[in-house]
Amino acid sequence: MLLPHGSCHGKKTMANKKSLGDIVREEVQKPQPPIESVAEMQTTQASSSSPGRKNLTKADLEQMVSELKSTLEEAQDSECTLQEKVMELQAMVQDKDELITELKQNLEQIEALKQELEEAQDTALQLSEANSQLVQELDTLKTAPTTLKPTQPQTRNLPQLVQRPQHSLTQPGGDEDFANNTWLL
């Protein structure tokens, strides 16, 4: 807002006259210092920018105060918004930290299971090899009977019994041959 022409002492150019709105816009575009210093800087700028400001009317001052209050409210709103975003980000970081911890635990469990699986595979391989050897031995034993027949018990060669001649009640010397009726040792 421009000051009325009659309120200035002496001649001032338009470049020296700035409205409060222009000052606020310039301040908003600058990097944001802490809120307490914003109000101090604006009042310092307003009081030192021109000596003609001392002649401001009550309405001009009230308007300045209302603009400063609205600027302060906007700054406070933006601070609240930023604080909410910071809290959301902190919650997200905490969630991600918990997820990372959970994933690390899962990874440890997976590594343990992987080790167990490898051991089981090794055992299965060893059992498979042992089974193959046993199958080979069994096949060898199945084919072996044709070459290695078990011997059947041999009958002992017992001396043949010699039959004794039957003696007749007849006396030797008869028609019968004495050699046939007797046996020799």
What pLDDT shows up at residue 157?
Answer: 67
Q: Enumerate helices (H) and strands (E) in the chain, giving the number of each.
A: 4, 0
Polymer length of the chain: 185
Pairwise pLDDT comparison (88 vs 47), residue with the higher score: 88
Same domain flag for 26 and 60: yes
Instruction: With respect to residue 114, please indicate whether it lies within any of the assigned structural domains.
Output: yes
pTM (2 decimals)?
A: 0.37
Q: Is residue 7 part of a domain?
A: no
Q: Is residue 42 part of a domain?
A: yes
Residue 178: inside a domain: no
Banded model confidence at residue 3, pLDDT cuts 50, 70, 90: very low
The total domain count for the chain is: 2
* Whole-angstrom distance, CA of residue 181 vs CA of residue 166: 7
pLDDT reported for residue 37: 57
CA distance 112 to 120: 12
Q: Would you call 72 exposed, middle or buried from its count of C-beta atoms within 10 A (0-12, 13-18, 19+)?
A: middle
Residues 62 and 86 in one domain: yes
What is the percentage of the chain residues whose pLDDT exceeds 90?
42
Query: Within this chain, do residues 80 and 97 fall inside the same structural domain, yes or no?
Result: yes
Question: Which stretch of 67-71, 92-96, 113-117, 177-181 has the lowest confidence by average pLDDT?
Answer: 177-181
* Dihedral sign for Cα atoms in the order 141, 144, 145, 149: negative
- Lookup: tokens for 92: 């997200």
Residue with more model confidence, 176 or 91: 91
How confident is the model over 139-165, as pLDDT tens digits? Answer: 888 887 555 455 555 566 666 666 666
Q: Which residue has the higher pLDDT, 129 or 41?
A: 129
Q: Are residues 92 and 120 in the same domain?
A: no
The predicted model gives 81-105 an average pLDDT of 95
129 and 63 within one domain: no
Residue 29 and residue 68 in one domain: yes
Q: What are 19's two structure tokens?
A: 């409205």
- Domain membership of residue 6 (yes or no) is no
Residue 87 lies in a domain: yes
- The more confident residue out of 40 and 26 is 26
Averaged confidence pLDDT in the chain = 75
Q: Which domain holds residue 36?
A: 13-102
Three-state SS annotation for 10-57: CCCCCCCCCCHHHHHHHHHHCCCCCHHHHHHHHHHHHHHHCHHHHHCC
Domain co-membership, 35 together with 97? yes
Q: Tell whether 79 and 98 lie within a shared domain.
A: yes
Residue 2 counted as domain residue: no
